[in-house]
Amino acid sequence: MNAGVVARRPLIAGNWKMHKTIAEARTLARELCALALPPQIDVVVAPPFTALAAVADELKGSRIALAAQTMHDFAHGPYTGEVSAPMLVEIGVRYVIIGHSERRAFCGESDDAVNRKVRSALANGIVPIVAVGETASEHELGETHAKVTLQTRAAFADVATDDIARCVVAYEPIWAIGTGLVDSPENASAVIAQIRACVDGLAHARILYGGSMKGDNASALMAMPQIDGGLIGGASLTAPAFAAVIDGARAKASAT
């Protein structure tokens, strides 16, 4: 493995989605900074754009890293409403979620756009967290493997293997997002193994599970050798709920 590649340290990332005003985001960030975080676990939060600068300010001196929920692939230009990688770097953003199923569904984010964004993030020193996952009907039809393979290969097309190893992938079955229907650890682990195998470099990358992951199911998911962490929605919106997920990763952290 290349020296610049991060080992598969456990990573717990909170995707706050379209929640939290600046004041609310500051309060949550302050509460998270007060937690005793296990040193072996990387913790990331992704507030909405409006709260990024305020949360960056609150996180100064902590080991919680800042993520954005999306970005444009160009550095600047006539793209009303968009934000670019250099703008995020200036605020202190270190990770960016790319291709979340909500953006694919509601904002028409294509596999091509995901690939352009991944390359732009890497070129600007931001770690992409690439989200892939199948719908409920694809799941029922047994098309999960085909779907995640297609999305993953497209996301990393023309990306160097060493760079791919530095990226993060989040397997988020769409039917599990916000529904309480968490995937079984065995199934999530099997799909993640397929994701790792479909692109060179992903064997060394961190691959997370996302979809109704909470304090009461985190340790079973994290016990699977293929699962390096979680991308958490609902349970990242309060400090006690997020702390419970991080607690679920402790056993894994002491094993790494």
- Catalytic, 172? Answer yes
128 versus 233: smaller Cβ distance to ligand 13P: 233
Q: Among 241, 254, 230, 239, which residue's Cα sits nearest to residue 11?
A: 230
Distance between first and last Cα of the chain: 17
Tell me the C-alpha distance between 88 and 187, whole Å.
35
Residues in contact with ligand 13P, shown as a per-residue x/- string from 121 to 160 under the rule CB under 6 A: ----------------------------------------
Tokens for 59, please give them.
């996180």
Active site residue 139: no
Closest by CA to 67, choosing from 17, 142, 110, is 17
* Rounded Cα–Cα distance for residues 50 and 25 (Å): 10
Instruction: Name which of residues 177 to 196 contact ligand 13P (CB under 6 A).
Output: 177-178
Dihedral (Cα; 129, 135, 141, 145), 10-degree rounding? -10
Contact flag: residue 173 with ligand 13P (CB under 6 A)? no
Contact with ligand 13P (CB under 6 A) among 37, 213, 243, 249: 213
How far, in Å, CA of 41 to CA of 141, rounded?
36
Residue 69 touches ligand 13P, criterion: CB under 6 A? no
Instruction: Count residues binding ligand 13P (CB under 6 A).
Output: 14
User: Least distance in Å: CB of 13 to ligand 13P?
Assistant: 8
Active-site residue identified among 58, 109, 138, 172: 172
Q: Does 212 bind ligand 13P (CB under 6 A)?
A: yes
**Active-site position among 100, 109, 138, 204:** 100
- Is residue 232 part of the contact set for ligand 13P (CB under 6 A)? yes
Sign of the Cα pseudo-torsion (161, 169, 198, 187, in order): positive
User: Residues with catalytic annotation?
Assistant: 100, 172
Interface residues with ligand 13P (CB under 6 A)? 15, 100, 172, 177-178, 210-213, 231-235
